[in-house]
Amino acid sequence: MLDLLKPTVVRKRALRQGRDTREEILNAAEDLLQRRGYNAFSYQHIAVQLDIRNAAIHYHFPSKEDLGVALVQRYRQRFRDWTDEIAAKANAWGRLNAYFQTYVEYAEAQCKICPGGVLGSEFEAIPEEMRHEARLLMREIFEWLVETLELGRAQGSLTFLGDSRHKAVEIGAALQGGLQIARMAGPERFHQVLQQLALELCHSGADSLP
């Protein structure tokens, strides 16, 4: 057949048939972002990982800023989808616990940190449009946390001292910082943070937290 007549170049094409390169780039970049940070990963890292050339990435994302912005927008969309989904399934404590679980995966998967941690740390060293998206992401997470805490307090499934907005930032900050500390001091540190958070929300933390 025609395919057999054509050598390596076509084989490579065939390999990429049906594969969504753009999506794979985003996946690889997301992984790199949460491992190395924005300024410490390059198009080369992605190219090697996907076995494509540098220029192929530039076709999908002309500049690195485009890629960075797309990443944060994807985080935001994913968070929206996730909150919609979880709202149907669980009460406030269940939701919060499910949220914690995403961080557990970051910590255990292997020492990833969360988007907020990366963007916050490098905030002064990322393009303006990424900063804009980062602000939106943080606001959306914050608002969801506040709502969830207030709901939990009303339901009686969560108990905590003080203003729910203050508690929300504290929780968000502790999770974010906890992942970073875990990298340096070992993953058990992150579990200690989780246990303390659970304890202060009046849950034993022994049931669902590993």
Partner DNA sequence: GTCTATATCCGGATAGAC
Partner DNA sequence: GTCTATCCGGATATAGAC
Instruction: Give the nearer residue to DNA in terms of CB position, either 71 or 145.
Output: 71
In this chain, which of 16, 47, 90, 177 binds a second copy, going by CB under 8 A?
177
The 42-81 contact track toward DNA, x by CB under 7 A, reads: xxx------xxxxxx-xxx-xxxx----------------
Q: Which of residues 15-54 bind a second copy (CB under 8 A)?
A: 35-37, 39-40
Q: Which does 122 bind (CB under 5 to 8 A by kind): DNA, a second copy, none?
A: a second copy
Answer yes or no whether residue 181 interacts with a second copy by CB under 8 A. Answer: yes
Answer yes or no whether residue 145 interacts with a second copy by CB under 8 A. Answer: no
Q: Which does 35 bind (CB under 5 to 8 A by kind): a second copy, DNA, none?
A: a second copy
Answer yes or no whether residue 209 interacts with DNA by CB under 7 A. Answer: no
Give which of 152, 140, 150 is closest to 81, Cα–Cα.
Answer: 140
Cα–Cα dist 118/35, whole Å: 9
Q: Which does 31 bind (CB under 5 to 8 A by kind): DNA, a second copy, none?
A: none
Query: Residue 127 is which amino acid?
Result: P
Instruction: Give the nearer residue to DNA in terms of CB position, either 15 or 185.
Output: 15
Answer yes or no whether residue 189 interacts with a second copy by CB under 8 A. Answer: yes
Q: Which does 74 bind (CB under 5 to 8 A by kind): DNA, a second copy, none?
A: none
Answer yes or no whether residue 152 interacts with a second copy by CB under 8 A. Answer: no
**How many residues line the site for DNA (CB under 7 A)?**
23
